[in-house]
Amino acid sequence: MDTYYHPPDLAKFAEVGKDAPELWEKFLGWYNAVFAEGALTEREKALIALAVSHAVQCPYCIDAYTSGSLEKGATPDQMTEAVHVAAAIRGGASLVHAVQMRNKIEKIGM
């Protein structure tokens, strides 16, 4: 292995449960319930997951929810817009801290 991230490792996710099976089962039950159709459709949830995957920059999640979004019927333009939402929030989160900067300028400036 020449990298921490290795694509075949995604298929080994369930092995994480070996040393704490009860916690794994609780996680899996909750996870599956989260993604079941409810007030939001499975497609909408997959697109949210895809956007969050990019925000947290998880290669495994991007791999899984690119396939997952397509398999729930999302189109590439919808998926790209979802990633832009994540990117806009990340960008906005940086930019809104400029208020803190401006407050500081006000305080210490003449």
Residue ranges binding other proteins (CB under 8 A): 37, 41-43, 67, 70-73, 75-77
Nearest of 40, 16, 37, 38 to residue 28 by alpha carbon: 16
Nearest to 82 by CA among 57, 105, 48, 36: 48
40 or 89: whose CB is closer to other proteins?
40
Nearer to other proteins, 17 or 42 (CB): 42
Residues 6+ apart with CB under 8 A from 48: 40, 82
Which of 41/103 has CB closer to other proteins?
41
Q: How far is the CB of 89 from other proteins (least distance, A)?
A: 25
- Least CB distance to other proteins at residue 96 (A): 33
